[in-house]
Amino acid sequence: MGGIAVLAKAAGHRVTGCDANVYPPMSTQLGAQGIELIEGFDPAQTKLNPDIYVIGNVVSRGNPLMEEILNQGLPYISGPQWLAENVLQGKWVLAVAGTHGKTTTSSMLAWILEYAGLAPGFLIGGVPENFAVSARLPQAPKQDSNSISPFFVIEADEYDTAFFDKRSKFVHYRPRTAVLNNLEFDHADIFEDLDAIEKQFHHLVRTVPQQGLVVANGKEASLQRVIDKGCWTPVEKFGTDADWQAANAQGDGSFNVLYKGKPQGRVAWNLLGEHNRMNALASIAAGRHAGVAVEVSIAALTEFKNVKRRMETRGEVNGVTVYDDFAHHPTAIETTVAGLRAKVGSARDGSRILAVLEPRSNTMKLGVMKNALPASLQEADLVFCYQANLGWDATEALAPISSKTQVHDDLKQLVTAITQAAKPGDHVLVMSNGGFGGVHQKILDALKEV
């Protein structure tokens, strides 16, 4: 919704917005764009008399401002529908869907198109460091300053659209290029099981034209089931035994790109982990469909700077490094910890990982994924879990790794425990999909006092 606000402001509208507990980087981005942010949902905001209210999917019946909008019969629309009607219409939309990696892959793809001079618009659920903003309208390409780019990259979320539209957001986007990164069970608050999510992904596939392209993870049986339900579009797969493959990966993050078994070049960057190689392959394939030569995409990725809150270093004090990461699903947690382990080396070499976890997503709060947490944290040397506002017992769930785990429901006590345990050479990995009470800076400040 913050990104949509940025796009609306860039299109010439006066934009105000309201929410509760907005935190960086989105709060700072909105302020930098001159967008008025109002705390809370006071019904008196209707006196602003806007032309239309764009409603986010966290707003439900009972919200005082929403009730006033309904009572007065005022015009409203969902964010995805507003976007489809006012920004995406007539554009070559490149949509990136999947349980994991949407933000990073969307950022890679937008940067590939930008590097190639195609000046795309984009809407991404994070802040790509190559752009420093999460959204922008299509720009004039370098080679033709009199036209506007037809390309728009969007992070395509399967979560429902709004309380009055229970379809997945991505069915509004009608992409010409659709990336299906992966598909696992998530969003237990709105989906009963994996089959229900696969059905929504199939709805997305049904909207891709015959002259489009579906780029799919060849390692995911769930995505093959989605395609088997019906697909009228060419499909290119990435991963093992697929059209696009990564080979000869090295510890510095670099790897070779193969297309149909033929070498295409080598990505030389410092992003680690198989998940980032898969994200890169998907973005290269999508970029090729939009007309970007593979060698240009590889050169672009060599200059890719990642996304804020994706293994972002927040600071170092007394030899202890603190990272921020968005991981909140067990698979993402496991992948993130493994990526950091590959980067820093083993504990035997003096590089301990202190994992700090806030189970904050709706799915995690419901406890659906709690039994998968111990395995996802196996590679961490110490685990600190913040269990405030949970509907289940984190101590019980993490019992299989209790010897290295502490659970706290007080943020100050959590920070104290982390700083008392930390020693020079340690890596503190904070994982949450929220602001986590500014715990990153609190840890860094506390380390200065030790």
Across the range 191-197, mean pLDDT stands at 85
Residue 440: count of CB within 10 angstroms of its CB: 21
Whole-number pLDDT of residue 277: 93
If asked whether residues 141 and 279 sit together in one domain, one would say yes
If asked whether residues 9 and 24 sit together in one domain, one would say yes
Confidence grade of residue 188 (pLDDT, cut at 50, 70, 90): low
CA–CA separation, 391 and 413 (whole Å): 20
Confidence grade of residue 266 (pLDDT, cut at 50, 70, 90): very high
End position of a domain, from candidates 253, 282, 302: 302
If asked whether residues 164 and 93 sit together in one domain, one would say yes
In a domain, 112, yes or no: yes
**DSSP result, 159-216:** SEEETTEEEEGGGGT--SEEEE-------TTT-SSHHHHHHHHHHHHTTS-TTSEEEE
Q: Per-residue pLDDT tens for 431-449?
A: 988 778 889 999 999 998 8
Confidence grade of residue 214 (pLDDT, cut at 50, 70, 90): very high
End position of a domain, from candidates 253, 278, 302: 302
Across the range 96-114, mean pLDDT stands at 94
Across the range 20-48, mean pLDDT stands at 86
Residue at 139: amino acid letter: Q
Segment holding 257, helix H or strand E: strand 255-259
Whole-number pLDDT of residue 436: 83
Q: Per-residue pLDDT tens for 298-340?
A: 999 999 987 777 778 899 998 999 999 887 778 888 888 988 8
Share of the chain above pLDDT 70, in %: 98
C-beta separation of 126 from 308 below 8 A: yes
pLDDT at 187 over 70: no
If asked whether residues 318 and 199 sit together in one domain, one would say no
End position of a domain, from candidates 244, 276, 302: 302
In a domain, 214, yes or no: yes
If asked whether residues 410 and 263 sit together in one domain, one would say no
Looking up residue 15, the CATH number of its domain turns out to be 3.40.50.720
Whole-number pLDDT of residue 345: 80
Looking up residue 223, the CATH number of its domain turns out to be 3.40.1190.10
Sequence-distant (≥ 6) Cβ neighbours of residue 438 within 8 angstroms: 23
If asked whether residues 104 and 124 sit together in one domain, one would say yes
Confidence grade of residue 235 (pLDDT, cut at 50, 70, 90): very high
If asked whether residues 90 and 48 sit together in one domain, one would say no
| Total domain count, the chain | 3
In a domain, 307, yes or no: no
Domain extent, residue 349, equals 312-449
